[in-house]
Amino acid sequence: MAEPEGHLFLFDLGYAYRVDGGVCLSDITVGDELRAPGSRLMRTSILATLSDVVGGALANRAIAGRVPLTVDLAVHCLAPVEVTELTMAGRVIKPGRSTVVTETWFSERGEERPLALSHATFVASPNPADVIEVYGDAFSTQRRLDRPLPDQLGIRRLQPGVAELDRSAYVTQNSGTIQGGALALLAEVAAESLVAAPLAGLEIRYLSAVRAGPARATAEVLGAGVVRVEVRDRGNEGRLAALVLFRT
C-alpha cells in the first residue's frame, strides 16, 4: 500500500498489520528508539500509538468512509514490556455507525501471556467533508529511526515538567493537525522529567485538535504514582487539546 501524501512519522516505526475476520493482527520490532531513557521498557505512549493504529483500522471499516476520530485511549501495562518482538491483536468490542470501541492486547511474539491491554473510543467526524477510503486488509511500514523518537519528532524539553512540539509536516495528519500519538509522546516526555520511576500506563482524552502549534505539555505530580499532563495549543490561545494521566 502506498504512503499517503506527505510523510508522517508513523510510517517510520516499522510495524505491519492485517485484518482477518474482524480481528486486526499487528507486529513490530522494538528498537532502542522506542524505549524509555536508560531502560528496556517500551514507551507507554508508543503502545498507545500502536493501539490507535490497530483500533483505527477496525474503526475505519465500521464507520465506512467517514474519518474516525480518537476520543479517548487507555493503556494498562500488566507486566514490563521489555520485548524485542511485539505482537498486537485488536477487535471491536462496541460496534456502531458513529461510535466504535476497540480492545487491543499486546504480547511477546510466540507467547500467549498478555503484557498490556488497551481500549480506545472512536467517533465518526461530524464534518461531512471528512471522508476517507476504507483501508486495505494489509499494511506495512519501514523502520526508519536513527535516534530516540522524541528527538526525531523534534520535541523540546523546556524545563522539568514542560515540553513542546512544533506543528511540522512530520507530525501532522491529512487534516493538518498534530497526530494524537505525537501528543501522547509529548505528554510522556513532560511527565518523565518529573518522576524517577518508569511510566507504566496512561489514559488520554483528546479534547480538541492542535491546529496552530506549537503544542505544549505541562505535567504535575498528583501523588500516589499519578502524573497529570495538560497539552495545549499555544498558537490557538492556549486551547486545551488533551488531558493525560500517567501511572508510575
Q: Percent of the chain scored above 70 by pLDDT?
A: 94
112-123: average pLDDT: 96
Beta strands in 78-192 (DSSP E): 85-94, 99-108, 114-124, 138-140, 156-159, 162-165
> pLDDT, tens digit, for every residue of 139-184?
999 999 999 999 999 999 999 999 999 999 999 988 889 999 999 9
pLDDT digits (tens, 9 = 90+) for 18-54: 999 899 999 999 999 999 999 999 999 999 999 999 9
Q: 172-223: per-residue pLDDT in tens?
A: 988 889 999 999 999 999 999 999 788 989 999 999 999 999 999 999 999 8
Burial label, 131 (beta-carbon count in 10 A; 0-12, 13-18, 19+): exposed
pTM: 0.94
CA separation for the pair 225, 152 (Å, rounded): 29
How far is the C-alpha of 90 from the C-alpha of 97, rounded, in Å? 18
Of 233, 239, 241, 243, give the one whose Cα is nearest residue 203: 243
Q: Which residue has the higher pLDDT, 198 or 88?
A: 88
Paired strand residues for 120 = 73, 102
Any idea which residue has 500516589 for its cell?
A: 224
CA angle 28, 6, 100 (to 5 degrees): 60
Q: Does residue 100 surpass a pLDDT of 70?
A: yes
Return the closest-CA partner of residue 81 out of 56, 102, 105, 58: 105
**What torsion do the CA atoms of 184, 109, 2, 147 make, to the nearest 10 degrees?**
50
Give SS3 for 169: helix
pLDDT (0 to 100) of residue 219 = 98
